[in-house]
């Protein structure tokens, strides 16, 4: 087990490039199951969640090969329709093979999901949607069992769930007739999936809007596709630049995918320069306290809420964060409070009063994004911050420590059994 040690007080500046979106790459890997042959995915991040998804696909019979950031998936022959508990419980996103297996084989046996402890995130909408498409679904002994092929139907989601939208898309592209998904998720990762499925031969209209129309086809073909840039990783480094004043330039993503976030950063006192695939952030004055509420895209993403809370922890004045997506996201508040933040939780509201400075402390990553936020908090904290449980961070960030060091941060990975030995200032990658 390892920990991340941060020595605060060293300004960060420079340029960092983000990789392919974790939340897109995992679903594109599942979509590769829909077509016999070899699918090539480019710009795939080298993170533990991708490695775990590769294990899931290999268990089903696909052959997965990585060369740098290029992944090839040979799904010519599938030997199983079961995604077992020991794999799925480690990563919720692996449940997206449910729709792909229904589409390709007309049968799926998938364990109930695991993943970050940030809320219930029930699969009820996935199941009800598949049933409306004519698929027989039962849940027992910890598994979802689905049998039958999708038939055209109108499905209205109770909430614009990303996972349910993805599963229904993959289940219906090889189904009969026309399927309409109403109140569909609109995230850029949904558009990326629909783009790849369309290039495979699927009949999809309206991706990125609340209503997606799918006309089933008889077969799909393997393709070569490049994963969209990771907007959440981009937001992480932009907020690090905001917290530490920058300037920091983040490249490799579409700024339009973070439009509301960029607006909030400007309202908080940051200066932004936008380009086609990059944003530069800097700050000369104090951070201003502002309010946000998390919402499905195009609203403020829940995945960046903990980073924003870190910003507001050192802002002038008081702010309110309203969490509308995952009820347990605020478990991060307990850890940032150990560093001196003044945060009070009241239901799905976080009330934050900015403090003059944070203090380095031993903290534990509560989840993927919360872990990254604690490391970023350590950049501006007095003294040394030791972040444990960093396997959460490895799930979604490739080379997180190396990228921060390249910006000038004093941050390193150490043996978790002896993290205090590294609590002394050290050279950055720039030195």
Residue 265 has a CB neighbour count (10 Å cut-off) of: 25
384 is catalytic: no
CA angle 346, 119, 309 (to 5 degrees): 50
Q: Which helix (H) or strand (E) holds 210?
A: none
Task: Decide if 121 contacts 100 (C-beta within 8 A).
Answer: no
C-alpha neighbours within 13 Å on the C-beta side of residue 302? 20
Q: Which helix (H) or strand (E) holds 180?
A: strand 178-182
Residues 6+ positions from 62 with CB-CB distance below 8 Å: 32, 33, 73, 74, 75, 78
Task: Decide if 192 contacts 21 (C-beta within 8 A).
Answer: yes
Write down the catalytic residue from 96, 116, 270, 384.
116
Token pair in block for residue 239: 């907020």
- Closest listed residue to residue 41, CA positions, set 53, 50, 33, 29: 29
Q: Which helix (H) or strand (E) holds 359?
A: strand 358-359
Residues identified as active-site = 116
């Amino acid at each position: 087990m390892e920990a991340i040690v941060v020595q605060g007080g060293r300004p960060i500046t420079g340029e960092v490039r983000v990789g392919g979106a974790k939340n897109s790459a995992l679903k594109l890997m599942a979509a590769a199951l829909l077509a016999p042959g070899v699918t090539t995915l480019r710009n795939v991040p080298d993170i533990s969640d991708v490695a775990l998804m590769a294990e899931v696909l290999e268990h089903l019979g696909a052959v997965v090969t990585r060369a740098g950031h290029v992944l090839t998936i040979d799904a010519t022959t599938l030997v199983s329709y079961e995604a077992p508990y020991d794999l799925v419980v480690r990563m919720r996103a692996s449940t997206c093979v449910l729709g792909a297996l229904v589409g390709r084989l007309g049968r799926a046996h998938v364990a109930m999901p695991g993943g970050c402890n940030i809320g219930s995130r029930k699969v009820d909408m996935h199941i009800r949607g598949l049933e409306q498409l004519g698929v027989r679904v039962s849940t027992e002994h910890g598994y979802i069992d689905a049998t039958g092929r999708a038939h055209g139907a109108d499905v209205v989601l109770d909430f614009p769930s990303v996972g349910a939208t993805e599963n229904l898309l993959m289940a219906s592209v090889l189904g009969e007739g026309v399927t309409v998904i109403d109140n569909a998720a609109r995230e850029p990762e949904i558009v990326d999936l629909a783009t790849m499925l369309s290039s495979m031969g699927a009949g999809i209209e309206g991706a990125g809007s609340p209503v997606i129309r799918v006309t089933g086809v008889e077969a799909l073909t393997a393709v070569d596709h490049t994963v969209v840039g990771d907007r959440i990783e981009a937001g992480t480094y932009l907020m690090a630049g905001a917290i530490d004043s920058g300037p920091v330039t983040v490249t490799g993503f579409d700024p339009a995918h973070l439009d509301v976030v960029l607006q909030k950063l400007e309202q908080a006192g940051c200066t932004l320069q936008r380009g086609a695939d990059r944003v530069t952030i800097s700050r000369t004055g104090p951070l201003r306290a502002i309010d946000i509420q998390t919402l499905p895209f195009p609203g403020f993403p829940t995945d960046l809420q903990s980073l924003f809370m870190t910003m507001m922890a050192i802002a002038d004045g008081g702010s309110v964060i309203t969490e509308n997506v995952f009820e347990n996201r605020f478990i991060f508040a307990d850890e940032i409070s150990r560093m001196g933040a003044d945060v009070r939780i009241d239901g799905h509201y976080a009330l934050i009063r900015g403090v003059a400075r944070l203090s380095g402390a031993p903290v534990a990553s509560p989840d993927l994004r919360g872990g990254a936020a604690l490391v970023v908090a350590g950049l501006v904290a007095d003294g040394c911050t030791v972040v444990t449980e960093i396997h959460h961070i490895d799930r979604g960030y490739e080379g997180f420590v190396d990228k921060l060091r390249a910006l000038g941060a004093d941050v390193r990975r150490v043996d978790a059994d002896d993290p205090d030995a590294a609590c002394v200032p050290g050279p950055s990658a720039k030195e």
